[in-house]
Chain A
Amino acid sequence: MSHESKSTHAAAHAHPTGATYLKVAVILTLITVIEVWAYYIPVLVASPWFNPSLIIMSAAKFAIVVLFYMHLKYDHKLFKALFTGPLIIAGATIVALLFLFAKISL
């Protein structure tokens, strides 16, 4: 293995500390508590912002786990591409199908 390969490999392994992992767990728990709390407030559920808010909070949790627990924030760009590429295709497929079956419209 060349020196360059070694340094690439090492750079791809700079991970956060245990304290960061604990903070991330607290943030994930808080977001989940807010999501469930909102579910039981009729005024919030009736609001047009309810579903978008839940989706944003879910996306935030998704991103936090991927970036910090899966270390994608610190990992090699090839891994980022291997994950985000199919994720974008998957997301676009869901949106396209929802349009196709008239579940959402412009």
Chain B
Amino acid sequence: MASHAIAGHDDGHAHTHYTTTGLDNRKIAIWAFIGSECMLFASLISTYLIYKGKSLVGPYPHTEYTDAAGKVFPAILDIPVTSASTFVLLMSSLAMVLALQAVQLKGVPLPANAGWWGRAQRSSQLWLFVTALLGATFLGFQAYEFTAFVREGLTLKTNLFGSTFFTLTGFHGAHVTVGVLWLMSLLWIDRTRGLGPQDELVVDIAALYWHFVDVVWIVIFTLIYLIK
């Protein structure tokens, strides 16, 4: 597959912007952007960890809280729901990488004995759609979680946990939203004029952003949801 992808890649780069390193400046830019995003999320994660356990009033993430009036607030984090949304986001990364592979394989003849999987691997529209759908599903889980928390009495202003939790996961959700819109625009381009090997870098850049959003969630899931 790799050799096919390379062949297709070399044919279609009439308008690329190579630097003296031999690398496309757009790909250098997305990696530099991702590097800067690491530091943005590090600041948000640090803030969450510093204030962890310092809330004066509940609801609390992992333990029950009873207020002065005797009202009991159960531990607010819903691990089964978040585990499902984590699985959805992990699978969206698989779909994204398959979308990139499908674009790389465009123009490479399909073997005569190719089965359904072989044909499916060539459909960039299918994998872009699946990725966007899974991303939107993750956002649905997050909307459900946020509204459930507000119903149970946890808002951005309730306590330090609420402030840091909503800020961190809200920033992540905003990144996922941008990613879903980006994927939908790629899907629209694919449906109108078709994405080919000449578009590999465009899809690769979107894929790098999407995978980064996934790895940030991997960290958030462990630090916020699983570590008590």
Q: A residues within 8 Å of B by Cβ?
A: 1-2, 4-10, 12-18, 21-22, 24-25, 28-29, 32, 35-36, 38-40, 45, 51, 54-55, 57-58, 61-62, 65-66, 69-70, 76, 78-79, 82-83, 85-87, 89-91, 93-94, 97-98, 101, 103
B39 and A90: CB pair below 8 A?
Answer: yes
**Distance between A26 CB and nearest chain B CB, rounded to angstroms:** 10
**Chain B interface mostly helix, strand, loop or mixed?**
helix
Chain A neighbourhood of B22, CB < 8 A: 1-2, 4-9
- Say whether A98 contacts B5, CB under 8 Å: no
Given contacts A69-B97, A78-B23, contact A9 B18 (CB under 8 A): yes
Asked if A58 and B90 make an inter-chain contact with CB atoms under 8 angstroms apart, the answer reads no
Contacting chain A: which of B27-35, B64-72, B155-163? B27-35
* Chain B 94-113 interface mask (CB, 8 Å, partner A; 1/0): 10111011001000000000
Q: Does B174 contact A (CB under 8 A)?
A: no
Which B residue's beta carbon lies closest to that of A18?
A: B121
A5 and B9 CA atoms in complex are apart in Å by 13
Say yes or no: A103-B49 contact (C-beta < 8 A), given A8-B22, A79-B31, A86-B38.
yes
What's the Cα separation between A66 and B16 when bound, in Å? 25
- CB-CB < 8 A to A78: which residues of B? 21, 23, 28, 31
Identify the B interface with A (CB < 8 A). 1-2, 5-6, 9-10, 13, 16, 18, 21-24, 27-28, 31-32, 34-36, 38-39, 41-43, 45-46, 49-50, 52, 79, 83, 86-87, 90-91, 93-94, 96-98, 100-101, 104, 117, 121, 200, 207-208, 211-212, 214-215, 218-219, 221-223, 226-228
Main SS at interface, chain A = helix
Which residues of B have CB within 8 Å of A62? 215, 218-219
What would be 29 A-B contacts, judged by CB atoms less than 8 Å apart?
A1-B18, A4-B22, A10-B6, A13-B2, A13-B5, A15-B2, A15-B5, A15-B101, A15-B104, A32-B87, A35-B221, A36-B79, A36-B83, A40-B79, A51-B227, A54-B222, A58-B219, A61-B218, A62-B218, A66-B215, A69-B211, A70-B208, A70-B211, A83-B35, A85-B35, A91-B42, A94-B45, A97-B46, A97-B50
Distance of B127 from chain A, by nearest CB (Å)? 10
CA distance A36 to B81 in the complex (A): 11
Q: Which residues of A contact B227 (CB under 8 A)?
A: 51, 54-55
